[in-house]
Amino acid sequence: MTKVAMLGTGFIGDFYTYSLHGQRSRDRVQVIYSRDESRGKAFAAKHGIPKWTTSMHEAINDPGIEVVIIGLPNNLHLEAVKQAAQAKKAVFCTKPLGCNAREAREMLEAVEKAGVMHGYMEDLVYTPKTLKALQSVRGGAIGQVTWARSRETHPGPHSDWFWNREISGGGVLLDMGCHCIEIARSYIGKDIRPVEVVCWADTLVKPIDAEDNALGWVRYENGAIGQFEVSWSFRGGMDLRDEVMGTEGTLWVNNFLRTGFEMFTAGGKGGYVAEKAETEKGWIFPVGDEVVELGYTDMFTDLFRAYENKTQPRESFYDGYVVNEIMDACYKSAKSKKWEPVKLDIWRGAEKTGPIRVTRDYDSDHILVKEETMPDGRVKLILKNKKTGKITQTEVRK
Amino acid sequence: MTKVAMLGTGFIGDFYTYSLHGQRSRDRVQVIYSRDESRGKAFAAKHGIPKWTTSMHEAINDPGIEVVIIGLPNNLHLEAVKQAAQAKKAVFCTKPLGCNAREAREMLEAVEKAGVMHGYMEDLVYTPKTLKALQSVRGGAIGQVTWARSRETHPGPHSDWFWNREISGGGVLLDMGCHCIEIARSYIGKDIRPVEVVCWADTLVKPIDAEDNALGWVRYENGAIGQFEVSWSFRGGMDLRDEVMGTEGTLWVNNFLRTGFEMFTAGGKGGYVAEKAETEKGWIFPVGDEVVELGYTDMFTDLFRAYENKTQPRESFYDGYVVNEIMDACYKSAKSKKWEPVKLDIWRGAEKTGPIRVTRDYDSDHILVKEETMPDGRVKLILKNKKTGKITQTEVRK
Amino acid sequence: MTKVAMLGTGFIGDFYTYSLHGQRSRDRVQVIYSRDESRGKAFAAKHGIPKWTTSMHEAINDPGIEVVIIGLPNNLHLEAVKQAAQAKKAVFCTKPLGCNAREAREMLEAVEKAGVMHGYMEDLVYTPKTLKALQSVRGGAIGQVTWARSRETHPGPHSDWFWNREISGGGVLLDMGCHCIEIARSYIGKDIRPVEVVCWADTLVKPIDAEDNALGWVRYENGAIGQFEVSWSFRGGMDLRDEVMGTEGTLWVNNFLRTGFEMFTAGGKGGYVAEKAETEKGWIFPVGDEVVELGYTDMFTDLFRAYENKTQPRESFYDGYVVNEIMDACYKSAKSKKWEPVKLDIWRGAEKTGPIRVTRDYDSDHILVKEETMPDGRVKLILKNKKTGKITQTEVRK
Amino acid sequence: MTKVAMLGTGFIGDFYTYSLHGQRSRDRVQVIYSRDESRGKAFAAKHGIPKWTTSMHEAINDPGIEVVIIGLPNNLHLEAVKQAAQAKKAVFCTKPLGCNAREAREMLEAVEKAGVMHGYMEDLVYTPKTLKALQSVRGGAIGQVTWARSRETHPGPHSDWFWNREISGGGVLLDMGCHCIEIARSYIGKDIRPVEVVCWADTLVKPIDAEDNALGWVRYENGAIGQFEVSWSFRGGMDLRDEVMGTEGTLWVNNFLRTGFEMFTAGGKGGYVAEKAETEKGWIFPVGDEVVELGYTDMFTDLFRAYENKTQPRESFYDGYVVNEIMDACYKSAKSKKWEPVKLDIWRGAEKTGPIRVTRDYDSDHILVKEETMPDGRVKLILKNKKTGKITQTEVRK
């Protein structure tokens, strides 16, 4: 059993604790920290947690505690990480790591200096579908990845602090762009350097200062593009989809809104449907087990195993730092209206990655550009002459 | 930690052990039994199990063992259950419980007489989608269930013994009908008595004696129909789908072949796709985490919690017995070519369940039969006069 | 231009006329017949039809008219067909052909004796997807068909007469079973004799005398099963789906409720969604062009081309007669609670069709029963010894 | 009957002619022009066209011809349009209108000066789903459109000339971006001015000079974004999908790859599957009637009706010109790596369109930012104080 101090009693703290205590798990939250005593107490009662406290320091330094989990608003991550590092406790931090790259870097340096194990809780990289898809991609199933689109949109976050830029550090780009950026980066290859970004961000619908919609492209050194789409004004539930194009295939992952479970109800008595579902009547699309499908279960398995075995988890503070650097460049691009370089003072990936580009010889003189079966059964080939560069077509019957 | 003796090293023993040892689980297989020493040894090594034995008696009576899990061919269930009951160990048995109702009844009586906890490992009732769907149905989301279709089809089972009627006790009806019958029964209500069945079974494709395809309807006391469709000659993967109609709604569950994960691969290098996938090229439909999606994880959670808390699991040997009685009637019907009664000498559900039938008054004189919006915006009402029984139509503009 | 007399101004008359006058069509309705003058007049105005009449005889015998289309309640088909035959006009009749096989046979004999061209307007056999699917099946894409399921369910018909057995001749089985039976028959092969049926029919939900739900299996001479599922108590729209299993493949057709068009609307201002859609808010699933997707367009193309070219249309009165015979057997089985033979005094298909059953040799001594890739990459083969009949398994690495 | 001269015998000429002659159509191609006599002759024979010619001038000026349809490579559109205008024939031109905005403008001026009817054959705006979706959007079903994504990707075009920039004028951006741009523009509103664009274009996979992948955002005056994604290196078939977000809803249209028709074939004997399908084995996703689903049928209906009735078709040369201007800006942005203005010397839409932005009062003091049902049944409200701008949360039980 690993003993955990949970910091934060909000929506994410709830989800984390449900996951940690779910199924036949051997890990337990032993202390819960909340600024507000009544919320801490209620949370402890709900989840069967023995201790609650309004002192973050006390929670972190509780002698039985081995792992500190940070589920606090963005502007409190840095302070919590520093305290955990000082207490020499392993620390898992929710996303985004920092409000910006400067904070993220400070956290990374704090944990590395202290020599404590650290995990970046980017749950959406751990959804069962994503894990299997990444395995297929690494195994070569779709060839080299040329483009990865990750989309997260819903009608807006749960808690008031998200809507307050001083606490959240930004709008939907910071809140959800971090997910999409890391998902796309995982497909393209974490070893490949993100070079530059272009980003659009605007406040189209909500009466707030921060952006409620953002789009971005991250260009990687090999030419691949990571595309993100985030919105707080989507209607219809929570849309969590990824699409990946490779030179030899494609893959589509839908984590939430179309997963093989459909229900029509005339009466609207189905109870809670799913996170941000928006409707309880008509056609609804529930999710089987949300904590599994959103990646929490596999994330904690990876993090606790890494903690026990003293190995590297899939996502560490370094990944959180990279994502924050990309987002900083995005905010810059949204203002400058041009591509902006991703500044990565700390780079731990490959030094140089050549371009994608795959060619297949048709015969000694020609490259095969394309092959297609026509409605009448003919097979059309598009060939390029290697010497002249001329492109011609020919037909064969198969 | 609960210590388990696993009986059987086949496909299902593997799946069970993966589930039991998966994620952050606190339960462990401590002894593995196989008739074949080398297979037992290999299984133990693969799963990190400390002991292996070729003696079923030894495995069951190992002093540290609390729970015996039976993953053996159908014709060995009875003997294994008797031994576990004698050893006063809790016992979880794979599906179908018996080769027929007589065997199932003997097992039920053995465990009840011995007073040991017993679980029927009907995993497909525990898929995350099914659990959530059942909760919605019980909550009234689709009104009263009138029809539940459960379908399991694939290109045929993994092991040779399935194809041998002496060991398996039957064909696809026994092998997979048991799943579908219990799923439909769960939707309709386990408290409602299954009254009669009609079944078609034939050997259409495979060079075997037993049936390779079967269809059936189970009529329940309230008029609802549980429909099953099973096949060992389906091409295209494993099709696990349920559809439920209620008076106020409908629900569709796809557990395996269309779950929001789609991949195209030109090269066929994606590795293992999913159980019985049939193809590694072109469009394939992998499953995120199979042991979760097939219900193993939630099944073991329910069974071990029930064991620890001395409560009833969702599925006990009694349920296995009911399913075997229904299947016996199905085999009879397939021969007699007519509806056959379900003989249930032991019945623990409701004594009498009235018919479904829902009526809604339109006004004091009329029942509303139907309401529909037409292409041009008119709303058409079909009304029945309560006195005369005459049916008329009228139109309103909304 | 072919000139048409349309009999009937109900829902189906509307749909037929929209289809006939749609796109760049060269055929026109020239006379509309309705018992009710005001309805006939309104219909003529709406569709730009030059003449209307309350005399069926006048409509049919109008000198310019070449083709008579019957869109009347079931109990009027026979009379209309007789008059058209007498007038030596080509006649297309809506489904079901008769209220029973006796009527259908009388119609068939009337048109054949008169030597007029006749078409059975079974539109659902003509949906673009069904036409293409049938072509693939005939081309061998899924091998020999072993099972075809056709399902049509919705919340109940549009007009009062459907609910009145004297006019309709029956309930949902007659109204919609005719579609499903002919679809399944088309997949299995119209040349293969339907031998026997078992049918369940009940009045579960609606306050009516006729059945509101029915299920059936039609067994064909080669062993294949045509399965139909019809309901007037389905909630959630109109569900029109077919599934076909063959020895070499499978196919799934969804004609209406999931066709690649999904819309979420918070406000419910989307207007008419689709036939029997039930909801205008939340997630809705409109259909692109209903008259195309429901088969009307391709049906009329086939019928008018056959008329012009003096060839056979895909569906003639003979097909309508076969379907009526199958339904008569179904009604009998629903009462007798056993399989009932399909009486086909007129049979124009193949005289004798042998059983399905496909075997593939593995080597000279063994038949290959099954082949499957396991999670760890091994390929498992199930083999049957040709002499001993013994079934064994073996593994190969690919 | 309208008599047509078809210019071009390539893939698109074939598709156009099939559509024109399909079903019960009253329009006919009377002359076919091809530079190559044998191809023209073969085409005429195949489609039953009475005349063929190798002189474009002859075809256009044939006295019986009313409408000229241009299905030629991009670099020949201008010349053909000029000749048709001179001959005072109505002219329908395939997409893109010009190789660039200069050419498009010249064509627009030519037809307007000559006073001939002109249609821009942007078929994908006419798919049955798109037409119905546009109707819903105009009716207010999803509120104000904030974002429209249109995607067209496949493994590369059919004919050699596409791959040759001198003839085609560009790569995938010009070839398919024109579709996506006009689809998104149709959803957002053709009356709203496209203001600026940012575009990424690269040659990632194919051995060619032109771009084989491109992405772009078009920002409209009201803040809405039209997003396009085009690729000639997609694997898995032809992916034609649109997604639209509005302030009150969302809609998803899949025109080709997932339309409710799925087939698994072990043998690969299904024949032609669909345009650019890539595979004939395993799971395939045929399309019912391609000429309908791709919009050709409805496009010709609109164009010929407009011609007959002397009204405006949905898509005219002016629309083609706007699309070319947007694409010119895209090519510029792909080079400059920043947002580029859309130069529209001819603008016929609204003069000034205000920003989107929708607010809903909660009470006199607060704006409702968001409302959500939580897993435990509570309803959380996010409110903004109108005076202080402070955002707070509150909970209600429903």
- Please report, rounded to a whole number, the percentage of residues in chain A having pLDDT higher than 70: 96
With CA atoms as reference, the chain A residue closest to B24 would be: A25
Q: Give the mean model confidence (pLDDT) for residues A47-62.
A: 98
**CA-based nearest distance C380→chain D, Å:** 18
Contact D289 C132 (CB under 8 A): yes
User: Which pLDDT tens digit goes with each residue over D376-396?
Assistant: 677 888 888 989 988 888 888
**What would the 3-class secondary structure string for A141-181 be?**
CCCCEEEEEEEEECCCCCCHHHHCHHHHCCCHHHHHHHHHH
pLDDT of D92 over the 90 cut: yes
**What would the 3-class secondary structure string for C47-76 be?**
HCCCEEECCHHHHHHCCCCCEEEECCCHHH
**CA-based nearest distance A68→chain D, Å:** 25
Instruction: For residue D153, list chain B residues with Cβ-Cβ distance below 8 A.
Output: none
In the numeric block, which tokens belong to residue D44? 């005429």
Task: Using a CB–CB cutoff of 8 Å, tell me whether D360 touches chain C.
Answer: no
pLDDT of B374 over the 60 cut: yes
Q: What is the mean pLDDT of chain A?
A: 93
C-alpha pair distances (Å), D274 with each of A203, A368, B122, C254, D228: 42, 22, 42, 17, 23
Burial grade of C68 (CB within 10 A; 0-12, 13-18, 19 or more): buried
**Residue of B38, B43, B204 to mutate when probing chain C, most C C-beta within 10 A:** B204
Q: Which residue has the higher pLDDT, D270 or B100?
A: B100
Instruction: For residue C281, list chain A residues with Cβ-Cβ distance below 8 A.
Output: 279, 281-282
- The angle that helices C296-309 and C11-21 make with each other, rounded to 10 degrees, is 70
Tell me the C-alpha distance between B145 and A82, whole Å. Answer: 56
User: Which pLDDT tens digit goes with each residue over A356-388?
Assistant: 977 788 899 998 888 877 766 778 888 889 899
- Please report, rounded to a whole number, the percentage of residues in chain D having pLDDT higher than 90: 80
User: Can you say whether residue C396 is alpha, beta or left, with left for phi > 0 and alpha for psi between -120 and 50 degrees?
Assistant: beta
Query: Which ipTM was obtained for this model?
Result: 0.94
Contact B142 A263 (CB under 8 A): yes
Q: Pick from B164, B225, B339: which is nearest to C215 by CB?
A: B225
pLDDT band at C357 (very low <50, low <70, confident <90, very high): confident
Neighbouring chains to A with at least 3 Cβ pairs closer than 8 Å: B, C, D
Tell me the C-alpha distance between D338 and D341, whole Å. Answer: 10
Q: How many CB pairs under 8 A join A and B?
A: 172
Assess contact for C208 and B369: CB atoms under 8 A: yes
User: Which pLDDT tens digit goes with each residue over B12-66?
Assistant: 999 999 999 999 999 999 999 999 999 999 999 999 999 999 999 999 999 999 9
Contact A279 C279 (CB under 8 A): no
With CA atoms as reference, the chain C residue closest to B14 would be: C375
pLDDT at A395: 84
pLDDT of A64 over the 60 cut: yes
pLDDT band at A266 (very low <50, low <70, confident <90, very high): confident
Give the residue from C149, C140, C193 showing the smallest Cα distance to C358. Answer: C140
User: Which pLDDT tens digit goes with each residue over D9-29?
Assistant: 999 999 999 999 999 999 999
pLDDT band at B317 (very low <50, low <70, confident <90, very high): very high
pLDDT band at C389 (very low <50, low <70, confident <90, very high): confident
Q: Give the mean model confidence (pLDDT) for residues B347-370.
A: 88
Q: What is the mean pLDDT of chain C?
A: 93
**CA-based nearest distance B362→chain A, Å:** 17
pLDDT at A241: 98
**Residue of D27, D135, D136 to mutate when probing chain C, most C C-beta within 10 A:** D136
Q: Which contiguous run of DSSP H or E holds residue A201?
A: strand A194-202
User: Which pLDDT tens digit goes with each residue over B258-288?
Assistant: 999 999 998 755 566 667 666 778 899 999 9
pLDDT of B398 over the 60 cut: no
pLDDT band at C268 (very low <50, low <70, confident <90, very high): low
Cis bond leading into C286, ω under 30°? no
Q: How many CB pairs under 8 A join A and D?
A: 177
Taking only residues 286 to 345 of chain C, the set having a beta carbon closer than 8 angstroms to any beta carbon of chain B reads: 337-339
pLDDT of C65 over the 60 cut: yes
pLDDT of C313 over the 70 cut: yes
pLDDT winner (highest mean) among C279-293, D21-35, D154-168: D21-35
Instruction: For residue D285, list chain B residues with Cβ-Cβ distance below 8 A.
Output: 283
pLDDT of C398 over the 60 cut: no
3-state secondary structure at position A353: coil
Tell me the C-alpha distance between A1 and A25, whole Å. Answer: 9
pLDDT at D230: 98
C-alpha pair distances (Å), B204 with each of B198, B278, C354, D217: 19, 20, 12, 56
pLDDT band at B357 (very low <50, low <70, confident <90, very high): confident
Q: Within chain D, what is the greatest distance between any pair of CA atoms?
A: 78
pLDDT band at B128 (very low <50, low <70, confident <90, very high): very high
Task: Using a CB–CB cutoff of 8 Å, tell me whether B258 touches chain A.
Answer: yes
Instruction: For residue D208, list chain A residues with Cβ-Cβ distance below 8 A.
Output: 369, 384, 391
Instruction: For residue A235, list chain C residues with Cβ-Cβ distance below 8 A.
Output: 264, 266
Strand partners for C181: none
In the numeric block, which tokens belong to residue B29? 């297989």
The angle formed by the CA atoms of residues D108, D110 and D114, to the nearest 5 degrees, is 120
User: Which pLDDT tens digit goes with each residue over A223-256?
Assistant: 999 999 999 999 999 999 999 999 999 999 999 9
Task: Using a CB–CB cutoff of 8 Å, tell me whether B236 touches chain C.
Answer: yes
Q: Give the mean model confidence (pLDDT) for residues C330-341.
A: 98
| Predicted structure pTM score | 0.95
C-alpha pair distances (Å), C215 with each of A293, B199, B369, C330: 36, 13, 22, 9
Instruction: For residue D235, list chain B residues with Cβ-Cβ distance below 8 A.
Output: 264, 266
**Residue of A136, A257, A301 to mutate when probing chain B, most B C-beta within 10 A:** A136
Task: Using a CB–CB cutoff of 8 Å, tell me whether D271 touches chain C.
Answer: yes
Q: Give the mean model confidence (pLDDT) for residues C272-285.
A: 76
Q: Pick from D23, D27, D263: which is nearest to C251 by CB?
A: D263
pLDDT at B34: 98
Neighbouring chains to D with at least 3 Cβ pairs closer than 8 Å: A, B, C
Taking only residues 9 to 38 of chain A, the set having a beta carbon closer than 8 angstroms to any beta carbon of chain B reads: 23-27
pLDDT band at C272 (very low <50, low <70, confident <90, very high): low
Contact A25 B27 (CB under 8 A): no
User: Which pLDDT tens digit goes with each residue over C110-161?
Assistant: 999 999 999 999 999 999 999 999 999 999 999 999 999 999 999 988 788 8
User: Which pLDDT tens digit goes with each residue over A195-211?
Assistant: 999 999 999 999 888 99
pLDDT at C323: 98
Task: Using a CB–CB cutoff of 8 Å, tell me whether C378 touches chain B.
Answer: no
The angle formed by the CA atoms of residues A77, A82 and A84, to the nearest 5 degrees, is 95
